[in-house]
Structure 1
Amino acid sequence: MKVNSNLSQEKRMQTAIYPDTNTLSHEAAHYIVRIANESIVTRGRFSLALSGGSTPKVLYGLFAVEPYRSQIDWSSVEIFWSDERCVPPDSPDSNYAMANEVLLGKIPIQPNQVHRMPADQPDRDAASQAYTLEMQRLFGANGIPAFDLLQLG
């Protein structure tokens, strides 16, 4: 395997271990604020793909309150999901529902900036195609979205 030696240390994968979820969440919040602001200054927007589960719930809650809430220009943010369960968007098992309750309903973001996976649709192929088209509309038709930050659970 060939490794690109031109990558800066910042761009290489780094691993960090934190003593608890609270510390992890605060460190992640600082990192997200920095990446969001750099992206907004550079490209005029910040594209963020969220995941679900219990671990990011603490992180999302931090952005709903100060000091983190006002550190990002939410009018320049596009939110997507990196994964979703095949349930309705109001289901307690939905990653979207958790993010909506803990974060989206508490920050100044418009509905057209929130791009929910239509995972509740019975035709999974059509739902996948619809989400693909939504990403192509925002990222360009080359078929490869380039998120500024992609969170995986």
Structure 2
Amino acid sequence: MREMTGGHDVKTGAMVVLPDAEAIAQHMAKWLTEQALAKKGSPFVLALSGGSTPRRLYQILASAEYRDRFPWANTQFFFGDERFVPESDAASNYNMVETEMLAHVKVPPANVHPMLTSGDPAQAAAKYQAELEAVYGGKTLEPGRPLFDVVMLGLGDNGHTASLFPRQPVLEEKKLWVSTCVPDDAPHTRLTLTYPAIHSSRHVVFMLAGAGKREA
């Protein structure tokens, strides 16, 4: 597991090496709960990730050990990316998070912000940015005032994170916080946080498991 810290411009990093995916998920559950409990006076703003290792994390957070400790009512749950498929689709990150965690805990519905996956993708991205702006309290990201407390990310075999795929125009986006991506090596149009939004976080955490991710 790799964590980068530094607010608006992430500049420092630390790596935590653990024996397997289960240990990563357990470590992350403890760390994330500590971060959320430490946030007082304002909401804890979290960007969730899809993937098998985060799936286990969500199961742990919904377990008896954590579901009465984690500050669900003080947490705003956003998503780092989403496939442009119905929320009921097995490929939907929201579907996975809802099934494994949100359906089992006492989180106010208004605190959960799934990405809209119907209609025009560009308009859906704009609507999601508006939701982020409402929580942030502004339309311009300011150094020293992060958009997120934690952004969770994975890493694909082709090096992509969130839905920032190689060779795609979204990689060059400098102003929008949320944009679209149509990868040439994976199915589905995507919505994704952009680099400016990801960098505006107190912590950016890559949850990586497996020998293929060792050198990432």
Q: TM-score range by the shorter chain?
A: 0.7 to 0.9
Per-residue deviation, 1:124: 1.0
The answer for the alignment partner of 2:72 in structure 1 is: 74
- Counterpart code for 2:47: A
- Counterpart code for 1:16: V
The answer for the alignment partner of 1:128 in structure 2 is: 125
Distance 1:30 1:12 in 2: 21
String of CA shifts for 1:56-99, please: whole Å, max 9, x gaps.
Answer: 00000001112111222211111000111111111000000000
Distance 1:45 1:37 in 2: 10
The answer for the alignment partner of 1:140 in structure 2 is: 137
String of CA shifts for 1:99-142, please: whole Å, max 9, x gaps.
Answer: 00000001100111100111x22311100100010111111123
- Cα distance change of structure 1 residues 143 and 131 upon mapping to structure 2, 3 Å threshold: farther
The answer for the alignment partner of 2:28 in structure 1 is: 28
Which aligned segments of 4 or more residues in structure 1 are displaced greater than 2 angstroms? 142-145
> Once superposed, what is the RMSD of the aligned Cα atoms?
1.8
Q: TM-score, normalised by structure 2?
A: 0.62
Is 1:91 aligned to 2:89, yes or no?
yes
**Structure 1 segments unaligned to the other structure (5+ residues):** 1-6
Q: TM-score, normalised by structure 1?
A: 0.86
Is 1:115 aligned to 2:113, yes or no?
yes
Task: State the SS of the aligned residue for 1:78.
Answer: strand
2:104 to 94, 102, 106: 106
Per-residue deviation, 1:16: 1.4
Equivalences, count: 142
- Counterpart code for 2:36: A
- Counterpart code for 1:130: K
- The structure that is helix-richer by fraction is 1
The answer for the alignment partner of 2:151 in structure 1 is: 150
- The structure that is strand-richer by fraction is 2
- Counterpart code for 1:133: A
Distance 1:72 1:12 in 2: 27
Distance 1:91 1:143 in 2: 34
- Counterpart code for 2:101: L
Per-residue deviation, 1:143: 3.4
Distance 1:66 1:135 in 2: 31
Distance 1:54 1:102 in 2: 11
Which range is displaced more, 22-31 or 69-78?
Answer: 69-78
Task: State the SS of the aligned residue for 1:14.
Answer: strand
The answer for the alignment partner of 2:17 in structure 1 is: 17
